[in-house]
Amino acid sequence: MLLGNIGVAGGGVNALRGLSNVQGSTDMALLFHILPGYLGTPTRKDHPTLQAYLEKETPKAGYWVNKPKFFVSLLKAWYGEAARKDNEFAYQYLPKNSGNYSYLDLFEAMYAGKLNGFIVSGQNPAVSGPNSTLERKALERLEWLVVRDLFETETAAFWKGPGVDPAKVATEVFLLPAATHLEREGSYTNSGRWLQWKWKAVDPPGDARSDGWFANQLALRLKKLYGGSRAPKDQPILALTWDYGDGEPNLEKVLAEVNGHTVADGKPVKSFAFLADDGSTACGNWIYSGVFPAEGQNRAKSRKADPPESLGINAGWGFSWPANRRVLYNRASADPKGQPWNKEKALIQWDPNAELPDGKKGKWVGPDVPDFRPDLAPDAKGGGNPFIMRPDGKGGLWAPLAEGPFPEHYEPVESPVRNLLSRVQFNPLAAIYKADLDRLGDPKEFPIVATTYRLTEHLHTGSITRNLPWLVELMPNLFCEMSRELAAEKGIKNGDPVLVKSARGEVRAVAYVTGRLKPFKLGDRVVHEVGIPWHWGFMGMAKGDSANLLTPHVGDANTRIQESKAFLVDVRKG
């Protein structure tokens, strides 16, 4: 997200509340297009008013018809008493998107001098970002940079990196010591949608502070700085509800706000089914509603596991959004008559004799929570439609992608061969940038395909693991993995130093000659591939070039995810 002329990666004012991870999301720079709960971010062009937003973004069928309830409740959670019906529930306090603010675009804007400041929390883009030369140069064009981490990372130390003259860098850098996940309390989530509570093991050393402390202090100090101002531009900060304590924030209070409550009495709502669009409820993230259904009942702390011989739903362990449902669209696990396709792995099934609270009979039963009305019979209208978030309730073969509804094979933007499956060589809607350092390689000069990957011994950018002696000993050097055939062609032996070069830069590595990689026979020619881990940098105990010095600033058409799995290089003995 962008705050004025400030870029934020890894955390920000609202990182503390309403996001998928209460401690802060590491993907905020990529999720500029949605508010918590997959609610689309308003844009200047399409959503000038709250009514325009709700009319345009709310479908006529499917469960998303409830979007107004989720959106208005979010505004009430953020702005409290300042969010009223007569002022569109403070809708105009929300920033309106006017462009693409994803990761690649963020750095392109920075390189163009359009960003004044940048806050980086728990990320290291000087190593992880594609075309690292451009991204490190972009950092030189900031007025100020704040980095929060456990060690001095390449991002914090960009001004003293290879080839940089510190005397010519005007960026003011603030390096703040952060706490590890073992040194802080709070909730965390995973790709299985489980929200679990984590207790602090030890206190952080010295001046190190948690993500929550930083976000809390940033908000409190901004509110104090603008206190008493009547300027319209300052009101979104002053109106922000923020009462989690002065030091380490009360994260259970944050989670209770994320869960939602009724405004009149402050009591938690039991689930998102109780949210309203009239300002009577507040909810920081509707998909987590139900995790804190009553005072003092934090379901993220639940630790009741299923016995080993069971199906393994583990409904009593943590909380799974939405509604503690462990398998989304689980109606599809039963046949049209409501009976499990596989009786030994039954998630839910229709029991016509099961009694409802009102005395009527017939409901869905099983270890999981039904993904629709529990009393909706299989033969009732909509009773056979599992995909409740879609307007027609049916599954779809096509997706609303930027390129169109049907998939097409495209070659990478950098490819040594002609596309044999389409007349179009590469994705015409791919994000290809035009700055002077956004160079693309010619296959005549760079005929070898390269790919990057992770290592077991390195966590993400290696900013932690490259500072641990035992892991450094296991993986001390950057290497370039290549086939025996390519090595023989280039006169390279296992362990030889090699130089890998692309149109963006070059790296020095150790040759790792292996049988894992094989030459490709593509049409009438042989194409070689090399593999390079991307975790190294110029800081820490184990130093080396980052493979992202080679990768292009190219993003896919839908998410702007970097195209670093296939690009062009040349390799020679060095």
Taking only the tens place, the pLDDT of each residue in 222-235 is 999 999 999 999 99
Instruction: Please give the residue that has the higher pLDDT: either 445 or 98.
Output: 445
In the three-class reduction of DSSP (H, G, I as helix; E, B as strand; rest coil), residue 288 is classed as helix
467 located within any domain? yes
Same domain, 14 and 156: yes
Per-residue pLDDT averaged across 35-41, rounded?
Answer: 95
Q: Check pLDDT > 50 for residue 19.
A: no
Per-residue pLDDT averaged across 190-198, rounded?
Answer: 93
CA-to-CA distance for 201 and 319, rounded, in angstroms?
Answer: 22
Q: What is the CATH number of the domain that holds 147?
A: 3.40.50.740
Taking only the tens place, the pLDDT of each residue in 363-374 is 999 999 999 889
Name 219's bridge partners: none
Same domain, 359 and 458: no
Q: Check pLDDT > 60 for residue 15.
A: no
Assigned token pair, 420:
């044999």
409 located within any domain? no
Length of the chain: 574
Same domain, 319 and 195: no
Same domain, 11 and 127: yes
Same domain, 442 and 388: no
Q: Check pLDDT > 60 for residue 65.
A: yes
Last residue of one domain, picked from the residues 218, 245, 272: 245
Q: How many domains does the chain have?
A: 3
Q: What is the CATH number of the domain that holds 480?
A: 2.40.40.20
Same domain, 175 and 116: yes
Q: Check pLDDT > 70 for residue 2.
A: no
Same domain, 514 and 390: no
Last residue of one domain, picked from the residues 199, 226, 245: 245
Same domain, 441 and 325: no
Q: How far, in Å, are 165, 374, 439, 501, 504 from residue 445 at the CA level?
A: 31, 63, 13, 10, 13
Domain span holding position 152: 1-32+100-245
Last residue of one domain, picked from the residues 245, 261, 283: 245
402 located within any domain? no
The torsion angles phi and psi of 530, rounded to 5 degrees, stand at: -125, 155
78 located within any domain? no
Same domain, 25 and 161: yes
Q: How far, in Å, are 196, 306, 323, 333, 459 from residue 317 at the CA level?
A: 8, 8, 13, 22, 27
- What pTM, to 2 d.p., does this model score? 0.90
The chain-wide mean pLDDT, for the chain, equals: 92
**210 with 183: CB under 8 angstroms?**
yes
Same domain, 503 and 445: yes
Taking only the tens place, the pLDDT of each residue in 131-184 is 999 999 999 999 999 999 999 999 999 999 999 999 999 999 999 999 999 999
Give me the pLDDT at residue 309, please.
Answer: 86
Taking only the tens place, the pLDDT of each residue in 517-546 is 999 999 889 999 999 999 999 999 999 999
In the three-class reduction of DSSP (H, G, I as helix; E, B as strand; rest coil), residue 173 is classed as strand
**66 with 57: CB under 8 angstroms?**
no
Nearest C-alpha neighbor of 93 from the set 83, 101, 85, 103: 83
Taking only the tens place, the pLDDT of each residue in 550-565 is 999 999 998 899 999 9
The residue assigned the tokens 């009577």 is 280
Give me the pLDDT at residue 7, please.
Answer: 55
306 located within any domain? yes
Per-residue pLDDT averaged across 281-290, rounded?
Answer: 97
463 located within any domain? yes
pLDDT-based confidence at 30, cuts 50/70/90? low
Same domain, 319 and 371: yes
Give me the pLDDT at residue 8, please.
Answer: 56
404 located within any domain? no
538 located within any domain? yes
Q: Check pLDDT > 50 for residue 285.
A: yes
Nearest C-alpha neighbor of 77 from the set 89, 85, 64: 89
pLDDT-based confidence at 25, cuts 50/70/90? very low
Same domain, 18 and 160: yes
Q: Check pLDDT > 50 for residue 252.
A: yes
Per-residue pLDDT averaged across 392-413, rounded?
Answer: 88
Per-residue pLDDT averaged across 457-475, rounded?
Answer: 92
